[in-house]
A and B are shown apart, each in its own frame.
Chain A
Amino acid sequence: MNLSFDAADLAFRDEVREFFRDGIPENWRLRVQAGLRLDPAELIEYQRRLHARGWAAPTWPKEYGGTGWTPTQQYIFWSEASEAGAPPQFHQGLELIGPIIFTYGNAAQKERYLPGILTCDDWWCQGYSEPGAGSDLAALRTRAVRDGDDYVVNGQKMWTSYAHVASHVFLLARTSLEEKRQQGISLILAPMDTPGFRVAKIPTMDEKYHTNELFLDDARIPTANLVGEEGKGWGYGKVLLDRERMVTASTAIFLKQTVWAVREAARARRVGTRALIDTPDFAAQLAQFEIEVIALQTMVLRLITDAAGGVDSGPRGSMVKLRWSSLYQRGMLLWLEALGPEMAHFCAEDDATLPPDMPAVMQGMLYSRVTSIYGGSSEIQHNIVARRALGL
């Protein structure tokens, strides 16, 4: 057992550190630390810089334009990004549909879609969930009926994040009605300007615009946009969800940013003659939080080492997702509490000035509540661990 990197790893780390040294604008910092996604334009700019450096897709194989990095290199890359105050990359194209396309897509699809993901010329959104199909995704009802060379698609998608920004959507739709609900579901790609698509904003409690309803009304999508085989989409979807959990593992590396942010905020605030960080109550809570973050980081490191050694990590991605979401929620609440009474100053009128970390902290705190719901809720993750790890 060994926690240190070899010489090649260290050289790589220096290279990455160098890249990030002055790559991250100061005005990103607060929002990134608060776990908020940056504006799409900023994320696109970030992705383009990475692409220019040849680092557009840290987890992809080289033949598709990825880095071909080892898991250790990926870990180093994310750690350095985190350290530098950089955001995680926007993942829906990169981690969700990209890998499905290079695994199951045909040559034409690979050629058409993969480069646009790397350069961020295309922005993908995920059309899986529906009003009646959330945790129980196999209950989806959106229908895709073959008509000549097209599918005619009807239905409603729900929670389609960034559909208002996206150029493309990958969606699951029912292409036939089978006994077994998981069969007869297909994975289809479509441009967002397809006639018959309508996007409606879903206002959320954090008062940020990120998610939508997507209505599909007699939308004609060429059958050439089917990924893999008709009716086999469910299987691809499962691979994809597993990957989404692994993405969360990488996001866990960014949790250090929350530790620093809370510490910084608590240093800046004074209670009587002391800094908040020096009050025993707060110091103890922050220490506890940081300790648990270290524990999670080390779990992630183990996961990554296993991946490097070709060991199936089983449901440990689920464990990481569970711990990550709960820690992130706790960290954000702690940061919010560091604001003291000013946590009530969310939005200023007149010439009032907000505390320096508002509204990012409050929005981040509210947003944190969703991390135990999306990507498979915490309850579903518990079920997965019970079934897959414990055989219950």
Chain B
Amino acid sequence: MDFTYSDEQQMLRDSVDRFGAERWNPAKRVRLLESGDAAQRWREMAELGWLMLPIAEADGGLGGGAIEVMAVAEGFGRHLIVDPWVTSCVLVPALLAGGGDAAGAVLAAIAAGEAKAAAGLIEPHMGYDIAEVALRAEQGPDGWRLTGEKLHVEDGADADWFVVSARTAGTPGERDGIGLFLLPRDAAGLTVERFRAVDHHRHARLRLDGVTGATAVGPVDHALPVIEAAVDRAIAAHLAEAVGSMEAATAATLDHLRTRQQFGVAIGTFQVLQHRMVDMTIACEEARAMAAYATLHLDAAPAERIRAVAAGKTRVGDCGLHVGQEAIQLHGGVGFSDELIVSHHFKRQLMLDQAHGPRHHHRNRFAAAA
């Protein structure tokens, strides 16, 4: 057994840290978020090789595995990098892998930093159950026609391509009869509504009104297992991101307890705060263990993988929200300001917990997979 990164993985981790320290300095964060030089950053990430890292070699990538993804995602969390790496470079490639020429071309573009893609899997009234697909795909004279709505496309606001799940047969909730389709942002009949979240990620809602020009990817009618496995990969990356963010928030808080003086002493001398700080540290330990646990089960048999990822998502969600809240509380008033990094960590934890289903959803998923 081994819980350590290899030398190469460690180098990858260090490279994200260097990038984070240079490009995502907490003191400059608010200004950075307003400046919007995302395109430039994305190019830099392409040059560093991160964009192609998780993409299969056959699709023009480096074929990095789950641990490499973990090493990078952790750094994204530690420095709160908002660029849609997990979505575009982990989730979408897992959905598109082996999906034919059109899919391969999009993956090559992603790997080269020339395109971003996002996955539309969640619909209104779905909860977070990705089998509840109602959006219809029908064969017509000019190919597939897609009609319906995707309520929330994680990181979808600036995507050039969308991969959406659609029902080719059956009724919502059935596992069979779900296909995956690739469509360009400017597809006829597609409306993209854009939103910014509190963590400054940018999302979309899609309305598809007889969209044509979509390409079927992979096994039409039987895509659900592929989708589930891909989402689990994205979740595992998010867990690593959550751990990085928790550890950074915890470190900032420890620093604050050592330096902030009240009543003539550093507030870290108050036992009540020491114990709270200890609990935050334990939460980080636990979350790191659970993120590894989930990641190391990504290639296990589906039932085992689902339980591991669902367990990880549940525990890391709890720990992450706890740490985010405590980091603010122990900072006092400044924790609530936009200038300090801790409130940004809290907001990211909130959104990470929500992405692909919050704690309670995955607790149920864990129970159901027994």
Q: Which residues of A pack against B, CB within 8 Å?
A: 129, 132, 134-136, 139, 158-159, 202-205, 207, 270-272, 281, 329, 336-337, 340-354, 362, 366, 369-370, 372-374, 377-379, 382
Contacts and interface: CB of A to CB of B under 8 A. Distances in A.
Contact of B329 (A129, A205, A372): A372
A379 B273 contact: yes
Interface string B192-223: 11111110010101000000000000000000
B6 interface: no
A281 B335 CA distance: 32
Contacts of A342: 151-152
Given A203-B30, A344-B195, A346-B196, A337 B358 contact: yes
Nearest to A280: B364
Give chain B's interface secondary structure class: mixed
A136 to B, nearest CB: 4
Contact of A205 (B262, B325, B338): B338
Contacts of A202: 337, 339
16 contacts: A159-B333, A202-B339, A203-B30, A203-B337, A205-B343, A207-B338, A272-B132, A281-B364, A349-B157, A349-B194, A366-B347, A369-B325, A369-B336, A373-B329, A373-B332, A378-B329
B113 to A, nearest CB: 24
Residue among A205, A207, A345 with the highest chain B CB neighbour number at 10 A: A205
B272 A340 contact: no
Given A353-B193, A369-B328, A369-B329, 12 more contacts: A134-B333, A136-B264, A203-B30, A270-B125, A271-B127, A342-B151, A345-B203, A348-B193, A349-B157, A369-B335, A373-B332, A377-B329
A349 B196 contact: yes
Contacts of B129: 272
Interface in B318-370: 325, 328-329, 332-333, 335-339, 343-344, 346-347, 350-351, 354-355, 358, 360, 364
B10 interface: no
B276 to A, nearest CB: 9
Given A135-B262, A203-B339, A344 B354 contact: yes
Which of A336, A343, A344 has the most chain B CB atoms inside 10 A of its CB?
A344
B128 A340 contact: yes
A139 B336 contact: no
Interface string B21-37: 00000000010000000
Given A205-B337, A342-B152, A348 B263 contact: no
Contacts of A374: 333
Contacts of A136: 262-264
Contacts of B262: 134-136, 139
B131 to A, nearest CB: 10
Contacts of B203: 344-345
A204 B336 contact: yes
B126 interface: yes
Given A203-B338, A204-B338, A341 B201 contact: no
Contacts of A159: 333
B3 interface: no
Contacts of A353: 193
Nearest to B196: A347
Contacts, number: 131
Contacts of B335: 369, 373
B230 interface: no
Contacts of A271: 125-127
A276 to B, nearest CB: 8
A272 B336 contact: no
Contacts of A351: 193
B173 interface: yes
A272 B127 contact: yes
B139 to A, nearest CB: 27
Q: 10 closest A-B pairs (Cβ-Cβ)?
A: A352-B193, A205-B343, A341-B152, A203-B338, A136-B262, A271-B127, A345-B195, A349-B194, A344-B197, A270-B125
Contacts of B172: 272
A266 B106 CA distance: 40
A109 to B, nearest CB: 30
Contacts of B152: 341-342, 344-345
B261 interface: yes
Given A205-B338, A272-B132, A348-B195, A379 B354 contact: no
A139 B198 CA distance: 35
Given A341-B151, A348-B194, A205 B346 contact: yes
B122 interface: yes
B354 A369 contact: no
B269 to A, nearest CB: 13
A158 B333 contact: yes
A385 to B, nearest CB: 12
Contacts of B128: 340-341
A345 B261 CA distance: 39
A173 B162 CA distance: 60
Given A281-B360, A351-B193, A344 B125 contact: no
Interface string B63-80: 000000000000000000
B125 to A, nearest CB: 4
A369 B333 contact: no
A48 B339 CA distance: 36
A352 B360 CA distance: 29
A348 B202 CA distance: 10
A345 B122 CA distance: 14
Contacts of B272: 379, 382
Contacts of A352: 193-195, 205
Nearest to B204: A352
A350 B193 contact: yes
A273 to B, nearest CB: 8
Contacts of A341: 122, 128, 151-152, 354
Nearest to B343: A205
A329 B326 CA distance: 13
A207 B333 CA distance: 15
A204 B329 CA distance: 14
Contacts of B332: 134-135, 373, 377
